[in-house]
Structure formats: structure tokens, C-alpha cells
A and B are shown apart, each in its own frame.
Chain A
């Protein structure tokens, strides 16, 4: 069965510092992987997705993620944090059979301080 683990429910970085949000997945079939961002009291917005093409995926707002099959990981990074990056981030894996359900991680709340 598919599952997603996000290491660290809260991450705090300084403005301008590297952002690293960790995501590990478990999947019995080649996965499709997604990162979403959620600002307070809003819906989820797609940051980027991996669908078996390039392993390094670039998304919006300067974020990128690398799919590493050997490590079953899909960590999200951004070279330099901005105050506006403060939000909750969710990693998700797609169940690519049947009704295409997404399995979400528990989320990581990113705080950015001056």
C-alpha cells in the first residue's frame, strides 16, 4: 500500500537560508509524487509534481524537488527562503490505479524568521 512520511511537523529557517522539507514514500508501483502548499484558511496549491520524467523537478516560487528511487525520497528544497514561504507543505503520492486517489503526508509547517 502507498504511504507518505514527512519528517518534521515544524521547520524554522531564517530568511535567505536554505529550505529543506523531507518526504519519503512507500509504493508498490512506480509513484507519481506531488508537493502542495497551503496558506492559512485556504485550499492547497500545487508546487510541483513528478510523473516519471526528469528526476529533478522545478516548481513555482523557486522550489524544486528530486526524486530518488533508491532512497524512496522526494525532498523539497529552495535555495533562499522568503518570508512569504511561511505556510504548510504537503507531500502526496498518487495511487495510479482505480480512481487515482492521493495519499497525503501529515504536513510540515514552515516558519521563516527575519
Chain B
């Protein structure tokens, strides 16, 4: 089955540690996205990538980093510089074409203790 996988589903880390969230898709989509979701605030864009080896900052990129070495993979690293990292993180992908919707993964809930 084609889709987007995110792992792990739940992640706990100590304050000050970097952590990497995985996002893999087998839909052959060109574009991939990372969002952060907090209660009552909808989704906010962290980073996005249209093609391999290229990515752009979104609205709240500070304290995060990404890489896009393969079309299928777009990992997100939450660094110790992120002031309030506890949140629900969603990965999405989209085929080429402005009319196409984004397809979302199941999300990773990160809790920093």
C-alpha cells in the first residue's frame, strides 16, 4: 500500500537533547512538508522541500533542521535550540501540480521532559 509513514508514534526526550523524527513516503511525490500542531493553533509549517537536495524554511523553522537526500525521505531534527518542542508533528507530501492536495502521515507526538 502506498502512503506516508512516520516513526515513532510517541517520542520522549530530555530537555537539551536533539531528536530526529522520521518521515518516509512511497507515493513518488516530489514535495514534502513538516508541520507542527499545537492545540487551538492549527498547523504551522516548519520546513518544506520540492525536490531532492533542496528545502526551504517555513514559518517557524527556528530550532529545527531537515535534510532531503532521497525522494522518499524527509527527516526532521528538533534541536536543543527549539524553546518549546513538545507538540504533535505531521509530515505531508504532494505530487506535482498546484491543484493537488497534500497527503498526511499519522504524526509523531514529541514530549520533552
The A contact surface, by secondary structure, is loop
Q: Mark B76-113, 1 if CB is under 8 A from A, else 0.
A: 00000000000010101010001111111111010000
B48 within 8 Å of A (CB atoms) = yes
A82 within 8 Å of B (CB atoms) = no
Query: Number of residues in B with C-beta < 8 Å to the partner?
Result: 28
Given contacts A32-B99, A51-B99, A99-B50, contact A43 B43 (CB under 8 A): no
A residues lining the B interface (CB < 8 Å): 9, 32, 34, 36, 41-46, 49, 51, 90, 94, 96-97, 99-102, 104-107
Closest 6 CB pairs of A and B: A43-B104, A51-B99, A96-B98, A104-B42, A44-B104, A106-B42
B residues lining the A interface (CB < 8 Å): 4, 6, 31, 33, 40-43, 45, 48, 50, 56, 58, 88, 90, 92, 94, 98-107, 109
